[in-house]
């Protein structure tokens, strides 16, 4: 092979050697950056385990008592609180201390919304226009919620990271003539105030915060002509509808992210709208998911049992005739509040991973 003498002479120049040295440094730097980027790529999520040991605890409820489970909250597996939607006086509020479930006194009628803070202070909403706060085991504060022109306020959902920044959702009811509308309340550490939103004939049932987008997801329902479920995005001021369906719609939270499910499908919020993430059509999946990661979460299935998704398939991991309702998951444990309609019993299903 022959080389042009002029090219060879250029490569022999001092300036050219320095130039080539800079190129080499740049090349090595780029390769190093690429290697670092590859090293920081998120690991593939591990499939959730299914080797649980299961027990069932029957709550001590008299035959004439009734209740419908609502929120279940806890900072550890040996300190859990369970509220109810409708209940008689002896069965409206429950606590688990790691050994047994006990009915606890509640200052109102049915704890329809629960919010537990990291300092273990507990907020509870009710259907009778009150919000309560428990500190150190005592109901230390109560707040009466009133709206001019309406007879009653029902609180069905609460969300907050600190005791001076909490949102509560529900609805206001007027008896004559009958009317109702959605309400959102905010607590600033001193008082509860109504958030100014358009009059909407919807009852709001749940609210969940997603930190990375700084927005709240809210679930609601209009029952004028059947059950028309709704899902909204709320930024602290604006309430925008993102789903409306006569098929059940739920919001759930896994590892800080909120998901919307309806008609055996799960959606993620992206770019200002919902996008389909998982389609479980043809399975017993009914929604209300809860879990640790996107490859380790649970779902209800009516009267078939508890379903589990491990990243590749959805399977029934606990067969039962119980109707599964409220769920809470910890690192190695799961608790599910369930109703035994056949025998008029109320059961807590407890699963614990094998060591």
Q: What is the pLDDT of residues 292-315, one digit of tens each?
A: 999 999 998 888 999 999 999 999
The span from the first CA to the last CA of the chain, in angstroms, equals 70
144-188: pLDDT as tens digits = 999 999 999 999 999 999 999 999 999 999 999 999 999 999 999
What's phi and psi for 171, nearest 5 deg? -155, 160
DSSP 77: T
| pTM confidence score | 0.86
CATH number of 106-285: 2.120.10.80
Q: Which residue has the higher pLDDT, 3 or 91?
A: 91
| Residue 9 CB-half CA count within 13 A | 3
Domain ranges of the chain: 5-37, 42-77+91-100+286-355, 106-285
What is the Cα–Cα distance from 27 to 253, expressed in whole angstroms?
44
68 or 317, which is more confident?
Answer: 317
Q: Is 39 a residue whose pLDDT tops 70?
A: no
């Amino acid at each position: 092979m022959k080389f042009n003498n002029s090219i060879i002479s250029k490569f022999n120049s001092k300036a050219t050697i320095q130039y080539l040295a800079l190129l080499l440094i740049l090349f090595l730097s780029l390769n190093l950056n690429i290697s670092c980027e590859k090293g920081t790529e998120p690991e593939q999520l591990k499939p959730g385990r299914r080797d649980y040991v299961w027990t069932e605890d029957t709550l001590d409820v008299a035959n004439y008592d009734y209740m419908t489970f609502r929120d279940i909250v806890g900072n550890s597996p040996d300190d859990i609180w369970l509220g109810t939607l409708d209940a008689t006086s002896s069965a409206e509020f429950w606590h688990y201390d790691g050994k047994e479930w006990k009915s606890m006194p509640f200052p109102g009628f049915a704890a329809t919304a629960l919010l537990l803070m990291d300092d273990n202070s507990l907020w509870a909403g009710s259907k009778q226009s009150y919000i309560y706060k428990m500190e150190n085991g005592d109901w230390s504060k109560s707040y009466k919620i009133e709206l001019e022109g309406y007879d009653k306020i029902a609180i069905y959902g609460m969300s907050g990271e600190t005791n001076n920044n909490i949102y509560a959702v529900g609805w206001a009811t007027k008896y004559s003539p009958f009317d109702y509308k959605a309400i959102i309340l905010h607590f600033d550490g001193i008082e509860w105030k109504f958030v100014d939103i358009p009059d909407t004939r919807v009852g709001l049932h749940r609210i969940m915060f997603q930190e990375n987008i700084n927005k709240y997801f809210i679930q609601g329902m209009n029952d004028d002509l059947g059950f028309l479920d709704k899902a909204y995005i709320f930024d602290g001021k604006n309430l925008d509808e993102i789903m409306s369906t006569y098929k059940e719609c739920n919001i759930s939270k896994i590892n800080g992210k909120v998901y919307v499910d309806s008609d055996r499908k799960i959606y993620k919020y992206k770019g200002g709208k919902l996008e389909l993430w998982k389609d479980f059509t043809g399975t017993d999946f009914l929604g209300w998911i809860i879990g640790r990661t996107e490859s380790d979460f649970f779902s209800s299935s009516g009267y078939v049992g508890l379903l589990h998704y491990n990243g590749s398939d959805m399977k029934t991991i606990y067969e039962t005739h119980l109707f599964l309702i409220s769920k809470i998951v910890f690192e190695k444990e799961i608790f599910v509040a369930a109703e035994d309609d056949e025998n008029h019993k109320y059961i807590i299903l407890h699963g614990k991973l094998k060591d």
